[in-house]
Amino acid sequence: METILTPPTLANVEEARKRISEYAHRTPLLSSKQVNQKTGGQIFFKCENFQKVGAFKFRGASNAIFSLSKEEATMGVATHSSGNHAQALALAARLRGIPAYVVMPENAPKVKVKAVKNYGAEITFCESTLQARESTLEQVVAKTGATFIHPYNDARIIAGQGTAAMEVLEDHPDLDMIMAPVGGGGLLSGTALAAKSIKPDIKVIGAEPANADDAFRSFQKGELIPVQNPDTIADGLRTSLGELPFSLIRKYVDDIVTVPEESIIEAMRYVWERLNMVIEASCAVPVAAVFEQKIDVKGKKVAIIITGGNVDLDNLPW
Amino acid sequence: METILTPPTLANVEEARKRISEYAHRTPLLSSKQVNQKTGGQIFFKCENFQKVGAFKFRGASNAIFSLSKEEATMGVATHSSGNHAQALALAARLRGIPAYVVMPENAPKVKVKAVKNYGAEITFCESTLQARESTLEQVVAKTGATFIHPYNDARIIAGQGTAAMEVLEDHPDLDMIMAPVGGGGLLSGTALAAKSIKPDIKVIGAEPANADDAFRSFQKGELIPVQNPDTIADGLRTSLGELPFSLIRKYVDDIVTVPEESIIEAMRYVWERLNMVIEASCAVPVAAVFEQKIDVKGKKVAIIITGGNVDLDNLPW
């Protein structure tokens, strides 16, 4: 646990980049004249919704898994998650040919259970409390000897997530700003670490739902203030900020802004309609921040990381 | 009219490529492991849903407009269309700084009228019969001196649409097959012309809704058999095949296959869910043909042109 809670460095992101290049897609950067006209900036969308398993999470998960020693790897990996991290871990484990153990609450949506199963993970169901998930995970780890891979409070995960920003800066070394949503903080901290280390004068901005503004408040106050069961459509951002990501965010992020639910839904629909991409509500959060002028992008070259596209098409918010 | 009804050649596609390169996006090619596993082939999606105005139509329209002489251009361009061609023509005209006149039926969906207007075109409304549209267009042309740009029965349009296939073959010179949906035939004929001229042993396959199978029947019989008001969800493919596209399709296309409505909807939803792209029903037609094994893609490298993503999000077919 010692090493994975030591803050990663640019060198770790560079290693991650090499390590995962064979497995992860180099996702495209898309732009839209309409978005540029609407905002007065030059906005580039880094499309991690086209990443494997449909989310940036594959970067961190594959970096973590392919950096395990042979001995560790043989025993497999484990996590408790019902979201994109579980799918990403399951796929990365399959690519390395090792077992993945996923603890899921018994009321997890069937479609998510199916997806994780399809990627070949072994699922253990438990009651849907955090306590039950943690204790079940402990049992699984004790029984199998698998390595627990936390979805964001892990240096290997953070370094992996930072590779997206690295790709963006290779395409546009003169970028003025990069934005990402913030939930547990793995993506924002990796993005900030990579971007600021490569280009110290770049601005790094996090965006968060006003209804789940623990990162905003923690950032303002300088100490972690967790959130309890926040009510936001951006389900990927309901998690509270992790310690390790927070330490990097304090060091490298310039600002965190918040947006209301209506703006998130509106921005989400705008991207579906005008950019013809399926994006999760979570990715719409920084887009909403730009549309609502929470951040001034006029005349600036700005990248927004589009985090994923796993959406229930039978349950759209409009 | 003489020249625009002379079949275009590879040289015309190459000229188009140069002419529009400054204006059109070079769209990304995406792939999906899940699709490859499902089909046994290696499938590449050429994402024209990320093209300007959200459709491949911008390629042909901008090629036609930027190939006009200065004298012709000054008088503007005209068309009768309520779909993507009208938007594409309007935007391309604006980029050249010339007027665009679009004749639309008075019952055209407001969202389409608004889109065409937003691109700066002057709209003339008429009754919603083909006769009214044609006579109104004649009046507009007589009054303004604008050049009529047909959506597909035009060599400049066909050459422009062929540039998408040219880009695909630059990325993957060893491609075995390329597929496109067929409505009026502009895209399929341009694709076939470009692909077969560059790589004579490539297979070119058209895909059509079984409910609007005029191209299939025309291709089988060797003569144009128009279709009357076909009932298909693939609204971009309700048009009957044009003469000039048909002459090229007979020469260069290997086969045309048809798929039922249910398969189109299923394939459309699959692409939304697994590839996280918003695509029109029309683009799902070749995808459905592959999923339904109407075409054998096992072990083959296949490109499918994803034609566009202009969809009414309040009116989805599931």
Q: Which uninterrupted H or E stretch holds B203?
A: strand B203-209
> Rounded mean pLDDT of chain B?
95
Residues A318 and B314: beta-carbon distance below 8 Å: yes
A138 vs A127: CA distance, rounded Å = 14
* Integer angstrom CA distances of residue B40 from B33, B56, B123, B293, B314: 10, 27, 48, 11, 35
Residue A278 has its nearest CB partner, among B30, B52, B278, at B278
Q: Which residue of A has its CA nearest to B309?
A: A276
| Beta-carbon separation of A275 and B50 below 8 A | yes
Q: What is the dihedral of CA A153, A156, A160, A163, to 10 degrees?
A: 110
| Beta-carbon separation of A277 and B275 below 8 A | no
A315 CB within 8 Å of a chain B CB: no
Q: Which residue of B has its CA nearest to A315?
A: B318
B164 vs A41: CA distance, rounded Å = 28
Which residues in chain A have their CB less than 8 angstroms from residue B269's CB?
313
- Across the beta sheet with B122-126, the strand order is B122-126, B100-105, B77-80, B147-148
B235 vs A89: CA distance, rounded Å = 40
Question: Cβ atoms within 10 A of the Cβ of A264, count?
Answer: 29
B30-48 pLDDT per residue, tens: 999 899 999 999 999 999 9
What confidence category does residue B95 fall into, taking pLDDT thresholds of 50, 70 and 90? very high
Q: Is a pLDDT exceeding 80 seen at residue A202?
A: yes
Q: Is a pLDDT exceeding 90 seen at residue B83?
A: no
B95 CB within 8 Å of a chain A CB: no
B54 CB within 8 Å of a chain A CB: yes
B22 CB within 8 Å of a chain A CB: no
Which residues in chain B have their CB less than 8 angstroms from residue A314's CB?
318
A125 CB within 8 Å of a chain B CB: no
B214: left (phi over 0), alpha (psi -120 to 50) or beta: alpha
Mutation target among A276, A278, A282 for the B interface, most CBs of B within 10 A: A276
A30 CB within 8 Å of a chain B CB: yes
Q: How many CA atoms lie within 13 A of A127 on its CB side?
A: 5
- B245, B303, B280: which is closest to B7 by C-alpha? B245
Q: Is a pLDDT exceeding 80 seen at residue B263?
A: yes
Give counts: helices (H), strands (E), chain A: 13, 10
Q: How many CA atoms lie within 13 A of A299 on its CB side?
A: 0
Helices A10-20, A57-66: axis angle to 10 degrees equals: 90
| pLDDT of amino acid A64 | 98
B177 vs B204: CA distance, rounded Å = 6
Which residues in chain A have their CB less than 8 angstroms from residue B52's CB?
33
B205-258 pLDDT per residue, tens: 999 999 999 999 999 999 999 988 899 999 889 989 999 999 999 999 999 999
Strand partners, B257: B207
Q: Is a pLDDT exceeding 60 seen at residue B2?
A: no
Residue B82 vs residue B245, higher pLDDT? B245
B288 vs B306: CA distance, rounded Å = 12
Give exposure, B229-265, as e/b (b: 16+ Cβ within 10 Å). Answer: ebebbbbbbbbbbbebbbebbeebbeebbbbebebbb
- A60, A15, A1: which is closest to A188 by C-alpha? A60
Which residues in chain B have their CB less than 8 angstroms from residue A316's CB?
313
B100: left (phi over 0), alpha (psi -120 to 50) or beta: beta
Q: Is a pLDDT exceeding 80 seen at residue A44?
A: yes
| Beta-carbon separation of A318 and B314 below 8 A | yes
A52 CB within 8 Å of a chain B CB: yes
Residue % of chain A over a pLDDT of 90? 88
Amino acid identity for residue A141 in this structure: V
Rounded to an integer, the average pLDDT of A152-180 is: 98
What confidence category does residue A4 fall into, taking pLDDT thresholds of 50, 70 and 90? confident
| pLDDT of amino acid B244 | 97
DSSP B242: P
Rounded to an integer, the average pLDDT of A73-94 is: 94
Q: B34 CA to chain A: closest CA distance, Å?
A: 10
B171 CB within 8 Å of a chain A CB: no
